[in-house]
Structures are given as structure tokens and as C-alpha cells.
């Protein structure tokens, strides 16, 4: 008798637990489907933005490496020597950096390429002018010394 009561009590508890779990599941499903709607977003658009950002970062890395190479070339150049072809090659490489900006329809995200090429162009022109000035200063000093020598010889 006691065993039957125990068995009956056990099955009542199991029924109560199963009924409780079932009612919780039904309430959860109703809440998520009809009351609290879970927002659905279009992940394709977000993934597209992430891919575009990664492409921009890759372009920046490539641009940085190219800038370093061009900077080294400009630094090592001897502007006293007449090297028209080499200067043209360096200018073309600077224009290739700028072309990244133009290829991407002048998008502001690629403005780094335009700024980089402008900075390299300014550096190139500054080095060229510096070389020209030092060369002219040397010529002026030689002519000044010749004039001084000519004045001293006349006395």
C-alpha cells in the first residue's frame, strides 16, 4: 500500500513538473513570437561594410610600403647628376599612389592616397630645390672667391 502511494505521488510530481515545463515553453514561445519581437537585421549589408573596410586597410598597408620605398629612392637620389629618366620613374610611382584615390572614384575613404602622394611630391620637389640651391651657392662662392682674388690682384 505504501509503495502504491509512493508510486502515485512520484508520478504526480512528474506530471506537475512536465506540465510546468510545457507551460513555460509555451509562454516563452508566445513572448518571443508575438509580444517581444527579436529584431532581425540584414547581415549582408554589415558584412559588405566590413569587407570594404578590410579592403581599405589593405590599400593603406600597400600605400605605406610603397611610400617607404619611394621615400628611400628620393633620399638616395643625387639631384646634382642629370637623371631625367630616374626622376620620371619616381614621379610615375608617386602618381601611382595618387591613382588609388582616382580609381576608387575619389572616395573620401581613400583620401590617404591623395595626401600621401602630395606629401611625397612636396618632399621630392623640396629635395630637388635644395640640391639646386646648394649647387648654386657653390657656384656663387666660387665666383665670389674669383672676384675677391681679382680685386686683391688689382691692389
DSSP assignment of 3-52: HHHHHHHHHHHHHHHHHHHHHHHHHHHHIIIIISPPP---HHHHHHHHHH
Residues 34 and 48 occupy one common structural domain: no
Residues 125 and 75 occupy one common structural domain: yes
> Taking the CA of residue 83 as centre, how many other CA atoms within 13 Å lie in the half-sphere pointing to its CB?
14
Residues 66 and 25 occupy one common structural domain: no
Residues 15 and 48 occupy one common structural domain: no
Number of domains present in the structure of the chain: 2
CA–CA gap between residue 131 and residue 75 (Å, rounded): 11
Residues 128 and 82 occupy one common structural domain: yes
pLDDT tens digits in sequence order for the chain, 155 residues long: 565 666 787 888 899 999 999 999 999 988 888 877 766 677 888 888 899 999 999 999 999 999 999 999 999 998 878 788 999 999 999 999 999 999 989 989 999 999 999 999 999 999 999 999 999 999 999 999 888 887 877 76
Residues 135 and 149 occupy one common structural domain: yes
Residues 51 and 31 occupy one common structural domain: no
Residues 91 and 147 occupy one common structural domain: yes
End-to-end CA distance of the chain: 147
Domain hosting residue 4, numbered range: 1-40
Q: Name every residue whose Cβ is closer than 8 Å to that of residue 104 and which is 6 or more positions away in sequence.
A: 110
Angle in degrees, 0-180, between the axes of helices 84-103 and 43-76, rounded to the nearest 10 = 170
pTM (2 decimals)? Answer: 0.65
Residues 58 and 33 occupy one common structural domain: no
Residues 54 and 33 occupy one common structural domain: no
Residues 52 and 4 occupy one common structural domain: no
Residues 108 and 149 occupy one common structural domain: yes
Amino acid at each position: 500500500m505504501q509503495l502504491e502511494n509512493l508510486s502515485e505521488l512520484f508520478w504526480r510530481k512528474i506530471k506537475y513538473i512536465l506540465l510546468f515545463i510545457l507551460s513555460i515553453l509555451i509562454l516563452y514561445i508566445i513572448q518571443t513570437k508575438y509580444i517581444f519581437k527579436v529584431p532581425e537585421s540584414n547581415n549582408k549589408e554589415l558584412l559588405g561594410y566590413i569587407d570594404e573596410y578590410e579592403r581599405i586597410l589593405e590599400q593603406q598597408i600597400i600605400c605605406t610600403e610603397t611610400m617607404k620605398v619611394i621615400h628611400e629612392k628620393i633620399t638616395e637620389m643625387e639631384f646634382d647628376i642629370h637623371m631625367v629618366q630616374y626622376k620620371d620613374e619616381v614621379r610615375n610611382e608617386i602618381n601611382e599612389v595618387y591613382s588609388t584615390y582616382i580609381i576608387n572614384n575619389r572616395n573620401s575613404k581613400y583620401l590617404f592616397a591623395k595626401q600621401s602622394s602630395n606629401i611625397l611630391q612636396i618632399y621630392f620637389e623640396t629635395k630637388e630645390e635644395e640640391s639646386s640651391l646648394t649647387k648654386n651657392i657653390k657656384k656663387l662662392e666660387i665666383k665670389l672667391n674669383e672676384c675677391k682674388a681679382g680685386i686683391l690682384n688689382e691692389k
